[in-house]
Amino acid sequence: MQEIKARRRELRATRAAVRDVCAAATLDESRLRTLLLRQSELRAEQMVAQHAVRAKVKQTLTAEQQARWEELRRQRRGHRGGQEAPVHTSQPERGATSM
């Protein structure tokens, strides 16, 4: 957890440094490249850490919970502009009434 917090702090600091470099009267391309490369590294490390945590959590779930996890994941993907996969559940939708 400490690593994640440290990475977030460094990412914030590099973003601020990028803003400063871009706001300067003359552009220091070398410094900007260095900062942007570090940002990319930090983001990649963050993504790897997030996926590792998800994998650990998913391993602790029952088969039913894993199925629900995947269902929610597909729904979220649809909300972000991706294709939403059809979701088939045995439970009625909220607000649906039976006839």
What per-residue confidence (pLDDT) applies to 98? 47
What per-residue confidence (pLDDT) applies to 99? 42
What per-residue confidence (pLDDT) applies to 78? 82
Reported pTM: 0.63
Residue 69 contacts by C-beta under 8 Å, 6 or more apart in sequence? 58, 61
pLDDT tens by residue, 55-81:
999 999 999 999 999 999 899 988 766
pLDDT tens over the chain, length 99 residues: 788 889 999 999 999 999 999 999 999 999 999 999 999 999 999 999 989 988 999 999 999 999 999 999 899 988 766 554 454 555 545 454 444
- The CATH fold assigned to 2-77 is Four Helix Bundle (Hemerythrin (Met), subunit A) (1.20.120)
Please state whether 95 falls in left (phi above 0), alpha (psi between -120 and 50) or beta.
Answer: left
Show the 3-state SS of the chain.
Answer: CHHHHHHHHHHHHHHHHHHHHHHCCCCCHHHHHHHHHHHHHHHHHHHHHHHHHHHHHHHHCCHHHHHHHHHHHHHHHHHCCCCCCCCCCCCCCCCCCCC
What per-residue confidence (pLDDT) applies to 80? 65
Greatest alpha-carbon pair distance for the chain in Å reads: 71
